[in-house]
Amino acid sequence: MAGATQAETAGTPPQSLVNVAHLVYALHAWSILAGIVGAATVVGMFLTGWPSIIAVIINYVKRPDARGTWLDSHFGWQIRTFWYTLLWVVIAVALALAVIPLALAMLVAAGIHFWAGVAVWHGLTVGLTAALAIAVVITLWVVYRIVRGWLALASRQSMPV
């Protein structure tokens, strides 16, 4: 029921529960802003900042109250945003870490001479650049998901499942 209005779905959530969903989006937005203006990254703050941790806990506690309403899709959207972000960060970190032993193995295999060192440096640069590119994409995706969800909530529309 993506994009369905409240009148088109079964069950009307109480306004207090809609307010809770706004609070959860606000907490996630707070983490994003803290990542933008602070020393941490947006993704780092989104996954480890206390506002987002509190938001995820609230999601799990309040989601059963939203079952059967259009608001349930927002709690699911927020929960999936958090866990998919964590999954992509794990993949990016694994990519970055996998390049280091590979580069060292190349260095040892080449007998540690100058051109081998250049090849290792190039390998590390490519791997870390790829991990950084993934981190930028994750950041943009997180911002998109929070903004899109919050705008849909303000319009009393459900989110895709």
How confident is the prediction along the chain (161 residues), in pLDDT tens digits per residue?
444 443 444 589 999 999 999 999 999 999 999 998 887 789 889 998 999 999 999 999 999 999 999 999 999 999 999 999 999 989 888 877 777 677 667 666 666 665 556 666 666 677 778 778 888 999 999 999 999 999 999 999 999 97
Q: Provide the pLDDT for residue 34.
A: 92
Q: Which residues does 42 contact at the CB level (< 8 Å), separation at least 6?
A: 31, 32, 35, 36, 139, 142, 143
pLDDT score, position 118: 63
* pLDDT score, position 106: 66
CB distance 146 to 81 below 8 Å: yes
- As a dihedral over the C-alpha atoms of residue 92, residue 98, residue 104, residue 106, rounded to 10 degrees, the angle is -110
Dist CA 41 CA 35 (whole Å)? 5
How confident is the model at residue 75, as a pLDDT?
Answer: 96
Distance between CA atoms of 6 and 111, rounded to whole angstroms?
A: 68
Phi/psi at 14 (5° precision): -65, 150
d(CA 40, CA 58): 24
Give pLDDT, residue 112.
61
Largest CA distance in the chain: 71
3-state secondary structure of 107: helix
